[in-house]
């Protein structure tokens, strides 16, 4: 299905009122290829979307937007693990719930993350001590120029914190069409984060974790169906050990998480909060009151309102802590992705 001059308001969770030249809902890899070939012929830009929960459209998109709607879930039971093959257009949270209902554990910590299964590898979604890489077996991607589908195993995906090969070498020309997941039958609860530490590892079940996470998330993250947002707007910054030591000396309460690399990860939400920015508004955009890392479309925000607010937040945090935040959300201009740091600097 393809429609011209379409509003993307319902296709980005910030709820920004922007348009695309063409919108296609693609249920097969062939439909994606066809839309891509058409855009090549017209020399128009082309972009694939899942649920638009990690994008900021800066202006109308002067090309073709394809929404990945490739469905299908296949489950295989092996001696030691469950193997799932999941179409890229399956909703992630519905998949989490569906697996738990079938007695398959392992996805519970990643409950309530918006978006599609095919988008999960791109920034290696993560929450509450688990990342996509922990259950990833493979990712299948369509190479648009040759129409070949290639399979990358986990080790080839270059997963990092909110990062993967799909943000770098495979950013252009590839569209993820399926993911393969592997969940061990021998279940080990991950109870390292927040309120999960209060659960008893001896008696806890996966549904307890699922319910606790849904509760924690609902208490601080706005529901995009009610208030436009893209989750954490910025990544949590990684700084050098020396810089961290100086900051901890000055602000002993600063949350800090040592990394295997020797770097220190800080909590961007805390840094923004310390600048007194909760509830701060620019036009229709605002810093969420329950979680300062979330920027919201409070009242008919324009893309420029969000950009101006992000600029102000980055500037205030940078001036106070000499830590320069980088957006997690992907910035999309009229002809394709733009460098987010450059846009808000």
Which residues make beta-bridge pairs with 26? 68
CA-wise closest residue to 55 among 306, 325, 321, 313: 306
Nearer to ligand FAD, 107 or 122 (CB): 122
Catalytic pick from 90, 154, 162, 316?
162
- 251 touches ligand EPU by CB under 6 A: no
Chain-centre distance of CA 187, in angstroms?
25
- DSSP lists the bridge partners of residue 7 as 19
Q: Rounded to the nearest whole angstrom, what is the least distance from the CB of residue 160 to ligand FAD in the complex?
A: 12
Q: How far apart are CA 284 and CA 298, in angstroms?
A: 5
Helical (H) or strand (E) element with 337? strand 336-338
Q: If binding is defined by CB under 6 A, does position 123 make contact with ligand FAD?
A: yes
Best CA proximity match to 68, nearest among 191, 165, 155, 177: 177
Binding flag, residue 236, ligand FAD (CB under 6 A): no
**Catalytic residue (choose from 51, 108, 140, 328):** 328
Query: Which of ligand EPU, ligand FAD, none does residue 52 bind (CB under 5 to 8 Å by kind)?
Result: ligand FAD
Count other Cβ atoms within 10 Å, centred on residue 261: 11
Which of residues 84, 88, 130, 301 is near ligand FAD by CB under 6 A?
88
> In this structure, what token pair is assigned to residue 27?
């249920």
Alpha helix locations (H) across 88-205? Answer: 92-101
Q: Which does 150 bind (CB under 5 to 8 A by kind): ligand FAD, ligand EPU, none?
A: none
Q: Which two tokens stand for residue 85?
A: 């093959």
The residues in 171-230 that bind ligand FAD, with binding defined as CB under 6 A, are 175-176, 221, 224, 229-230
From the list ligand EPU, ligand FAD, none, partner contacted by residue 47 (C-beta under 5 to 8 A by kind): ligand FAD
Helix residue ranges, H only, the chain: 29-41, 92-101, 206-220, 241-250, 268-274, 303-321, 340-344
Name the residue nearer to ligand FAD (CB basis): 81 or 134: 134
Q: Which does 267 bind (CB under 5 to 8 A by kind): ligand FAD, ligand EPU, none?
A: ligand EPU
Q: Is 47 in the site for ligand FAD (CB under 6 A)?
A: yes
Residue 222 is given by DSSP the state P
**Where is 249: in which H helix or E strand?**
helix 241-250
Stretch that binds ligand EPU, among 6-14, 168-176, 289-297, 310-318 (CB under 6 A): 289-297
Which is catalytic among the residues 90, 232, 314, 330?
Answer: 232
Dist. CA 181–CA 101, nearest whole Å: 17
In the bound state with ligand EPU, the residue whose beta carbon lies nearer, of 48 and 216, is 216
Strand ranges across the sheet with 281-282: 228-232, 294-297, 285-287, 281-282
Site for ligand EPU, residues 111 to 130, rule: CB under 6 A: 127-128
| H/E segment holding residue 181 | strand 174-184
Select from ligand EPU, ligand FAD, none the partner in contact with residue 63, using the beta carbon and a kind-dependent cut-off of 5 to 8 Å: none
Give catalytic residues, as residue numbers: 162, 232, 328
Q: What does the binding site for ligand FAD look like in residue numbers (CB under 6 A)?
A: 13, 47-55, 68, 88, 113-116, 118-120, 122-123, 125-127, 175-176, 221, 224, 229-231, 330
**Residue ranges binding ligand EPU (CB under 6 A):** 127-128, 193-194, 231-232, 235-236, 255, 267, 269-270, 273, 291-293, 328
């Amino acid at each position: 299905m393809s429609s011209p001059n379409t509003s993307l308001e319902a296709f980005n969770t910030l709820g920004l009122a922007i348009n695309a030249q063409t919108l296609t809902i693609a249920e097969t890899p062939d439909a994606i290829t066809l839309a891509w070939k058409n855009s090549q012929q017209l020399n128009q830009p082309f972009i694939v979307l899942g649920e638009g929960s990690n994008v900021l459209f800066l202006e109308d998109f002067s090309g073709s937007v394809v929404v990945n709607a490739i469905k299908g879930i296949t489950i295989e039971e092996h001696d030691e693990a469950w193997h799932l093959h999941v179409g890229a257009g399956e909703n992630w949270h519905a998949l989490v719930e569906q697996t738990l209902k079938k007695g398959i554990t392992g996805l519970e910590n990643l409950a309530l993350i918006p978006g599609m299964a095919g988008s999960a590898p791109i920034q290696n979604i993560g929450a509450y001590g688990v990342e996509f890489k922990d259950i990833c077996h493979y990712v299948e991607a369509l190479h648009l120029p040759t129409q070949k589908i290639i399979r990358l195993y986990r080790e080839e995906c270059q997963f990092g914190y909110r990062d993967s090969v799909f943000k770098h070498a495979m950013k252009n020309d590839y569209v993820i069409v399926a993911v393969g997941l592997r969940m061990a039958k021998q279940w080990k609860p991950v109870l390292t984060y927040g309120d999960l530490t209060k659960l008893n590892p001896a008696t806890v079940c996966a549904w307890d974790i699922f319910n606790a996470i849904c509760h924690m998330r609902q208490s601080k993250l706005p529901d995009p169906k009610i208030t436009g947002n893209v989750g954490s707007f910025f990544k949590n910054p990684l700084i050098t050990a020396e810089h961290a030591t100086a900051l901890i000396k000055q602000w002993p309460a600063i949350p800090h998480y040592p990394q295997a690399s020797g770097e220190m990860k800080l909590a961007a939400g805390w840094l923004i909060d310390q600048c007194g920015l909760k509830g701060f508004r620019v036009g229709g955009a605002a810093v969420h009151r329950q979680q300062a890392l979330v920027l919201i479309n409070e009242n008919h925000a324009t893309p420029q309102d969000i950009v101006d607010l992000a600029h102000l937040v980055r500037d205030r945090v940078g001036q106070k802590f000499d830590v320069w935040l980088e957006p997690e959300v992907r910035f999309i201009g009229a002809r394709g992705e733009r460098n987010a740091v450059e846009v808000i600097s």
